[in-house]
Structure 1
Amino acid sequence: MHITILTLGSRGDVQPFIALGVGLKQAGYKVKIASQATFKSEISSRGLEFALISGNPKEGIESAEGQAMLRTKNPIDFVRRMGDLLEPLMEKVFLDSWQACQETDAIIGGGFPFWGFDIAEKLNIPFYYAYLTPGYPTKEFPNAVTPAHLEKLGGIYNRFSYTLTIQLFWQFFRKPINQFRESILNLPPTSIWKNVFTKMEDAKVNYLIGCSASVIPKPKDWSNRVHLTGYWFLDTPDNFTPPTDLVNFLKSGSPPVYIGFGSMAGEEAQKIAEIALLALAKTQQRGIFLSGWGSIKNSDLPDTVFQIDNIPHSWLFPKMACIVHHGGAGTTAATFRAGVPSIIIPFFGDQQFWAYQAAKLGVSPPMIDRKNLTVDSLAQAITNAVENQSIKENAASLGDKIRSENGVREVVEIFSSRNW
């Protein structure tokens, strides 16, 4: 049986779906992952088939339009700006996705690529919609791209936040989706009110949510088609050898504070990096700086700070005193699994949701809003994270629970239980 996974985004967005692909392949399925060129080598090295989806999200994030999107605090404006940013790319992305799904038996839409449902409709094959954030509607908490603290308004608001967000999202993507349906798939357009997500419900689509019940307990009002499986971790390759200079740095002193902002780039990420350096100095903490996709660079790092480009989180994070990051779903999951405290400075999207949940779980100091970020506020948070015994114990306990789970195996069992 052949399964195609459509997935786009940063490393934190895509890597969990590589983990899913590996698990499904080990279970005997033939797996193809369609994603951007950035991940071709990693996907192929795991023995999975790769198909190219054109476009580079990094370039979009680093553009003037992308930076404006990151700066907005309004979720409606955020969705509008994201639509404007992506619309010029969508025609080619849709076509590449369509070509990647030929001769497949099932499609997993990994996160953003909801148009996999339209392709599955045309091919008359099963579609699974997979999230890294618990995005299925519920009365228990609001949609992850809306202010998380407003859950105090109660079930009616929480449930409505999904309806509103989905409908707004559909307004910005309805035109390119319907052009794709009519010109490529030869299917009728979808109406303004009967959006693709409503159609998924009508089709009784199964939802796979790569999150731990120890972090977000499964809401009582979720359908039995919604599977909260646990996280999908891609383990460190057996042949991984860490850089010698990094190993020596780790051995030379106390556990450092990791600072990295994943796919967050541009002037604001650089500004935060500069604040972080000063906060490390003020707290007399050693540091690990991730340059990576965020392009955080500083040629004048002190001897107490080591810069890395990319290293497996599963190897590095357990060795840290705490993790300072942007709150992306992938980085947050890796931090929870490592069992160390975190400090989250969210930029956009679901990142503030994860910051709120981490503080609620007692594994992080309160979220630091970017507009309130100063050397003093970050230094205070670092001191709290590395010295507060309650936070450290809560983080360690949560890490034990998550390491005992196997979300990939849960997904494999869901597929294996289907009567193909």
Structure 2
Amino acid sequence: MNIFIVTVGSRGDVQPYVALGKGLQKAGHVITLCTASRFESFVTEHGLGYGYMNDDMLKLMDSDQGRNLMENTTNVWEIVKANIRLYKQVGPMQHTMLNDSWAAAQQANPDLIIFHPKAYGDPHFAEKLGIPVMLVIPLPMFVPTTETPSLGFPKLPFGGWYNRFTYQFVNIMMGLSTKGPVKTWRSRHGLPSNPNDTDILHTSAGKHIPVLHCYSKHVGLNPSDWPANVVATDYWFLDQEESWHPPQALQDFLAAGDPPVYVGFGSMAGRNPQRLTRIVIEALQQARVRGIIATGWSGLDTRNLPDTIFKLDQLPHDWLFPRVSAVVHHGGAGTTVAGGVLPLSVRSSVTSPSGANVFTRLVWGVDTFHKNN
């Protein structure tokens, strides 16, 4: 079977889909993974076919405006306001992203499409090609449940109707931001107008789209009222390549003293990465510990670092984290899991609310995300 996988976002939005692709390839399927061009080598190094998508959206997120948006991604109202401000810039990029991924889909000639929620055009690609489609979600933000609100919403004493509404609101707002490009694409490719053309949970015929949540049901949300087509599978880990070796400079730094503290914020360094870098350096120095600062996609200013702090761009977490004394990060799903499996007596993770909730459930068996204090 030819399978076309599409994902949009940072490294954390790409790696689980690469792991999925490798698993499907091992089972005998032919895989094409379409994502931003900056990740082409990452995809091909793992033996998967690559489908081109331009890098403009990630470049925007790496700008001052984009960092301002990412700084407030745990507050749904701030996300809405930021999206409104960015709409004029994002609109043309959405059209380009749709066209790029559609061209890649045609070239892949798939029998099945698997898509990330931000790759909102893919249910329509599947409809045009007459093939099935499946949604893969890293976090439980889209499928409604009466048991708990969607991430980013407070837990309020309004019962199940409010909880379900929070998911519907997320879907509505996402739909409003993508409706124009989707409507234009459908019209250009001979598909009929559809009032639900931005619903990523259903086909245009109203059928449920199968949904996989790529986290453990023992850690993340797994409510009893999810429909049968929605499941939490477990985490999809990407095994290290035997040919991969850490940089010699990093090995020398690790060997030169006590295990350092890892600090990384993924794509969420906020509007002032220089200030955040200063805070991190001062905190490490006050604690009298060595540190590793991961710059990644967050724009952290790592010029003129002291000898006790090492700058790192990207590295497999499963190799690095067992070699550090603590992990301080932004709460991304993949980073949280990698940090959470460390020996608890000597490791710690400091994260954003969603990641903190995962970690505290792993360690202490309690739910912190919706606490008001």
Match runs of 1:15-414 below 5 Å:
15-72=15-72, 73=75, 74=77, 75-81=79-85, 83-102=87-106, 103-135=109-141, 136-144=143-151, 146-147=152-153, 149-150=154-155, 154-183=159-188, 185-191=189-195, 195-197=198-200, 199-200=202-203, 202-264=206-268, 267-339=271-343, 340-344=347-351, 346=352, 352-359=353-360, 361-362=362-363
Q: Distance in 2 between matches of 1:353 and 1:153?
A: 22
Q: Is the 8 A contact 2:70 2:270 kept in 1?
A: no
CA RMSD of aligned residues (A): 2.6
What TM-score do you get using the length of structure 1 for normalisation? 0.78
Q: Which amino acid aligns with 1:113?
A: A
Report how far residue 153 of structure 1 moved.
5.0
Rate the CA distance shift 1:132–1:342 in 2: closer, same or farther, 3 A.
Answer: same
Q: Structure 1 runs of 4+ off > 6 angstroms? A: 363-368
In structure 2, the CA distance between the partners of 1:29 and 1:65, relative to structure 1 (3 Å rule), is same
Q: d(CA) in 2 for partners of 1:194 and 1:181? A: 9
DSSP-derived class of the 1:100 partner: helix
How many residue pairs get aligned? The number is 358
Deviation at 1:118, TM superposition (A): 0.7
Offset at residue 220 of structure 1 (A): 0.4
* CA shift digits 1:341-391 (9 cap, x unpaired): 2111x4xxxxx42334434554799999xxxxxxxxxxxxxxxxxxxxxxx
State the Cα distance separating 1:209 from its structure 2 match.
0.7
Distance 1:151 1:254, change over 3 A: farther
> Residue 34 of structure 2 contacts residue 104 of structure 2 at CA under 8 Å; is this kept in 1?
yes
Distance 1:189 1:129 in 2: 22
Q: How far apart are 1:216 and its partner, in Å?
A: 1.5
Are the aligned partners of 2:360 and 2:368 in contact in 1 as well (CA < 8 Å)?
Answer: yes
Report the counterpart of residue 416 of structure 1 in structure 2. Answer: none
CA contact (8 A) 2:71 2:268 kept: no
Tell me the residue number matched to 2:13.
13
**What is the TM-score normalised by the length of structure 2?**
0.88
171 and 199 in structure 1: CA distance in 2 versus 1, 3 angstrom threshold: same
Provide the C-alpha distance between the structure 2 equivalents of 1:138 and 1:81, rounded to a whole number of angstroms: 30
Q: Unmatched 5+ residue regions in structure 2?
A: none
- For 1:157, what is the secondary structure of its paired residue? helix
SS of 1:196's equivalent? coil
8 Å Cα contact 2:182/2:197 also seen in 1: no
SS of match in other structure, 1:159 = helix
Q: CA contact under 8 A between 1:55 and 1:89: conserved in structure 2?
A: no
Whether the 8 Å contact between 2:5 and 2:32 is mirrored in structure 1 is yes
Q: For residues 367 and 284 of structure 1, do their structure 2 counterparts lie closer, same or farther at Cα, with a shift above 3 Å needed?
A: farther
The answer to whether the Cα contact below 8 Å between 1:140 and 1:151 also exists between their aligned partners in 2 is no
- More helix per residue: 1
Deviation at 1:266, TM superposition (A): 6.3
**Equivalent AA in structure 2 for residue 358 of structure 1:** F
Q: 1:151: how far off?
A: 5.8
> Does the 8 A contact of 2:70 with 2:267 survive in 1?
no
Counterpart CA distance in 1 for 2:244 and 2:356 is 31
The alpha-carbon distance between structure 1 residues 266 and 221, as it changes in their structure 2 partners (threshold 3 A), is closer
Identity of aligned residues (%): 34
Distance 1:38 1:151, change over 3 A: farther
Give me the whole-angstrom Cα distance separating, in 2, the residues matched to 1:307 and 1:358.
26
Structure 1 contact 355–366 (Cα < 8 Å) conserved? no
Q: State the AA in 2 paired with 1:28.
A: G
Structure 1 gap segments, 5+ residues each: 347-351, 369-420
